[in-house]
Amino acid sequence: DTEVTQTPKHLVMGMTNKKSLKCEQHMGHRAMYWYKQKAKKPPELMFVYSYEKLSINESVPSRFSPECPNSSLLNLHLHALQPEDSALYLCASSQGDYYEQYFGPGTRLTVT
């Protein structure tokens, strides 16, 4: 099983809202990732968790706050977003650094 699940599938939020994106994997993977993908562009790395610790933060604005409650779960907390943050947010997991990454279906986020 190489499934990564993400909820919700779609999310519309106002600029003053607080919401969270969730990601789950049950493959025993020790690394989990958040990517942002704008239309017609490749995914851009936001955060990497390795063994439940934040190992990479690609200079992402503080209105995005990641959390890794355990080895199977990854959250992305959203607060005071801007319309330009509207995008597809993808979660991925891998056995570890340098291993192939498996992606979830994504959350389509619209900020109004």
Partner 1 sequence: GEDVEQSLFLSVREGDSSVINCTYTDSSSTYLYWYKQEPGAGLQLLTYIFSNMDMKQDQRLTVLLNKKDKHLSLRIADTQTGDSAIYFCAETKTDKLIFGTGTRLQVFP
What does the binding site for partner 1 look like in residue numbers (CB under 8 A)? 2, 4, 6, 40-43, 45, 48, 55-56, 90, 92, 97-98, 100-106, 108
Q: Which is nearer to partner 1, 4 or 111 (CB)?
A: 4
Amino acid letter for position 80: A
CB of 66 to partner 1, least distance (A): 16
The alpha-carbon radius of gyration of the chain (Å, integer) is 13
Q: Which is nearer to partner 1, 73 or 80 (CB)?
A: 73
3-state secondary structure 71-104: CCEEEEEEECCCHHHCEEEEEEEECCCCCCCEEC
CB of 67 to partner 1, least distance (A): 21
CB of 80 to partner 1, least distance (A): 26
Distances, alpha carbon 112 to alpha carbons 5, 37, 53, in Å = 25, 18, 32
Q: Which is nearer to partner 1, 18 or 58 (CB)?
A: 58
